[in-house]
């Protein structure tokens, strides 16, 4: 069990690094070039693709597991992601809570909710595609 949790956290950390790079590219390159209205949703789509791609190429590290375990891994990643978003955003970046909440607002063009759905299903989908289920 501990091995499974450690592998899950390790892969999630790779996803976090990709997310941070994705956010930096959005802030430093995309927003100045094409503005926030396009950059924010484009960044969400890109992050969704990165999450799935990383999951697809790392899912074999778990080996063959029951389908529900892959679903639990995805749900665990959501918990880690939301906790990171709020705790890192508030206590490290100094953002107020209302600003962090905007990350989850589809009305603002932010697709983080979709990223979380992709995060939840990616382990199960990737395991199925790789024949691990």
**What are 97-127's pLDDT values in tens digits?**
999 998 888 887 899 999 999 999 999 999 9
Please name the helix (run of DSSP H) or strand (run of DSSP E) that holds residue 28, with its range, or none: none
CB–CB of 84/16 below 8 Å? yes
Q: Which residues of 37-76 are buried (b: 16+ CB within 10 A; e: fewer)?
A: eebbbbbbebbbebbbebbbebbeebeebeeebbebbbeb
CA distance 33 to 29: 6
Q: According to the model, what pLDDT value does residue 106 have? A: 86
Q: What is the pTM of this model?
A: 0.92
Rounded to the nearest 5 degrees, what angle is found at the Cα of 22, between the Cα atoms of 19 and 24? 110
């Amino acid at each position: 069990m501990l091995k499974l949790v450690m592998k899950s956290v390790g892969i999630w950390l790779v996803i976090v690094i990709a997310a941070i790079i994705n956010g930096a590219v959005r802030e430093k390159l995309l927003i100045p070039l094409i503005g926030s209205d396009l950059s924010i949703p484009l960044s969400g789509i890109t992050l969704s693709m990165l999450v799935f791609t990383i999951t697809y190429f790392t899912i074999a590290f778990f080996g063959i597991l029951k389908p529900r375990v892959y679903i639990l891994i995805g749900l665990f990643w959501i918990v880690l992601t939301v906790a990171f978003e709020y705790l890192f955003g508030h206590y490290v970046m100094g953002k107020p809570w209302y600003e962090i909440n905007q990350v989850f607002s589809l009305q603002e063009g932010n697709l983080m909710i979709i990223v979380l759905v992709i995060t939840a299903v990616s382990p199960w989908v990737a395991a199925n595609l790789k024949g691990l289920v």
